Amino acid sequence: MTDETKTLSHGRLLTRFAQLGPYLRQNKCSEEGYFFDCLSACVNAKKSPECREFWGWWMEISPKEGGFEYAYTFGKFDTEGSWKAENVPNKSSTEVKASLDAFYSKITEFVEGELGLEITAKPSLKEPKLGSAA
């Protein structure tokens, strides 16, 4: 973790990230990275709740010099509780992308606005970059 990101401890970052909404998965976070996801659209609402799968996204944010880097993936959250990278069908893609855009706006406002740090895409990101660089 860099000196800049140490201004908030790992525990305090977890607390602040959790305040951004129901995206943070604390059990998948460490000082080396933070895991966020969103179950945006139900694949089949006619199934019983424990058998439902969802279209959505997940994002990992890692501390770097001067801020954080992110990478995200679209896919399906299965009944086993795992994410699988898959193309989201057209009927759900608008909803899924809108939820990612909403989260990105919140995380950017926090990192850049409150912490005074930058958040940028990881060089390895295969999806389009989010925000004004998109």
Per-residue pLDDT tens over the stretch 67-86: 999 999 999 999 999 999 99
Q: What is the mean pLDDT of residues 106-121?
A: 94
For 118, counting Cβ atoms within 10 Å of its Cβ (0-12 exposed, 13-18 middle, 19+ buried), the class is middle
What element of type H or E holds 17? helix 10-18
Residue 50 pLDDT level (bands cut at 50, 70, 90)? confident
The per-residue pLDDT of the chain, averaged, comes to 90
Reported as type and span, the H/E element at residue 12 is: helix 10-18
The whole-model pTM stands at: 0.88
Q: Evaluate if residue 112 carries a pLDDT over 90.
A: yes
Assess whether pLDDT exceeds 60 at residue 21.
Answer: yes
Q: Where are the alpha helices (DSSP H) in 51-128?
A: 90-108
pLDDT of residue 5: 44
Angstrom distance (rounded) from CA 91 to CA 107: 26
Higher pLDDT, 127 or 79: 79
Q: Which residues contact 69 (CB under 8 A, 6 or more apart)?
A: 61, 62, 119, 120, 121, 122
